[in-house]
Structures are given as C-alpha cells and as structure tokens.
Structure 1
Amino acid sequence: MSELPEIRIGTADREKALDALSLHFSEGRLTVTEFDERSATIASAMTRGELDTVFVDLPAASGTGSASVARSDSGTPAVEDGGFDWAAVVMPIVIFGSLALFFLTDFDQKWLFFLLIPLAGAILSAAGHPADKKKNKKKKR
C-alpha cells in the first residue's frame, strides 16, 4: 500500500482489509486463531500503518484467487471476472415476493410461500457462481 502509514482510515478501508484477510484465510494461509487476532487488529486500526502490519507476512492480492463480488459502476452486483451475480439480485426478490404473497393472497396455507426462499437458494447455488463456471472452462482447456 503506497499511502503514508500515518493516514487515518475509515470503515470502508477496514471492510476492504477484512475482505482481503478473509480471502487469505479461505486460501489456507491463516489458522483460525491467526485470523481472529488479525481481524481484531483490523477492527481496532486507526491508521493505514496499523492495517499494513496485518498483511506483512502475506502475499499481495493476486488475480489467481477466487473472484470476489464487487459493485459495478451502476451499483449492481457483479463478479470481478466479468460475470453477473444473479444470486445477489434474485434472493432479495424471492424473499420480498414470498412476503407479498403471504400477506396479499387469500390462500389457506400461506406458510407454503416461505418455502420458496430455501428453494430459490438451493436452485441458485446448484446453478453455481459465474466465476466458478469460468474456472471450470479454463481447467478443461
């Protein structure tokens, strides 16, 4: 990080650092104890230098790791590898749709509408993540 170490940071900086730390943890570079300790350091960090100390012994973020969800310029969920994260869009619609059906219909067993939520989650996770599909295509080549 090229910024001065005494520069104060905000919540967004801490969240980005936690995301980066979570990526290192998911790739097996940290134990649970190390992750907990470093997460606490990030949560209490006030300057850029305090954040930098958390990542001293970890490699710089690379494009080879798993794709993370980002926001495109329009604010819609996108995957950094160029795909679109349908689950981030569809799941809230399913949840609010289930609530609307529950309150607005005259069906005797309205509670069944809430089964749409785990059903949609199962279908979306079975469909896979766009980044996973791209990785699988690259492996086949």
Structure 2
Amino acid sequence: MMWLDKEFAAAPQPGIETLAALAQAGFRSVICNRPDEEVAADACAAAMEAAARAAGLGFAAIPVRHAPITPAMIAAQTEAMAALPGPVFAYCRAGFRSSVIWALAQAGRKPTADIMAALERAGFAMPGLEAQIEELATGR
C-alpha cells in the first residue's frame, strides 16, 4: 500500500475477506479502479462493493484501463474522491493505475511538484506525467 497523501492510499486489489480489516485500520471508503474483465466473478466490483458496504465502507467503482485514461475517468475519480469520506483505499492490479488517476485528479488542486513527489515516494517516478498534470491544471 502506498500513501499518496493523508487521505488516499493506493494498492493492489485486496482479497474480499480483507475489506473489514481496512475498515478496522481506519479507512472509510474504497475505490475500485480495476475493470471487472481482469478478475474472477467473485472479485468483481459488485462483490467488492457488497463486502465493503457490509464493513461500513463507502465504495465507488471507476474502472481504469491501461490506456488511455480518459477525461470521463478523471472526472469520475475526482467526484468520488470529493464525495466519499476519507481516508480512501483505492486499488487496481498493482496500485499503479490508482496512483496515476489520483495524480490526474489532483491536477490544479495540489501543486504539481507535490503530486510528482507523492508518486515518486510511492515508487512510481513518472516524469512524463508532469506535462499532462500541468495541462489539466491549466484547464481547471
């Protein structure tokens, strides 16, 4: 699990049985960034949502495919992060897509240098993303 800021952590998809432990650890919401076609039926977004809600967690499913991350995906992530109580646990296959979409959703809300530093601390140094974050920030 990688904390990108005090309200958002990204990680590989947890087992459905660990969602209650996330709630006990202080998380209040879960965002699923993993498309259902990547997982077995018992780990699909609907199953994860049911388990999350049973554990008292908020939940949103925003499937992020490997490329491209679309403006609609970024908008959905931004809305979910604003609506759900934090801290938020977001997951995909390895945590990478959840981290990237977090970064894009933060454009114009946090300084670009802070976003890039958070990604680097999480092990995702992506200097090529800086220009896209700046472009998104300018548009907000």
Query: Fold-level match, TM-score > 0.5?
Result: no
Higher relative contact order (CA 8 A, sep 6+): 2
TM-score, normalization by structure 1: 0.30
Report the structure, 1 or 2, having the larger strand content.
2
State which structure, 1 or 2, has the greater radius of gyration over its C-alpha atoms: 1
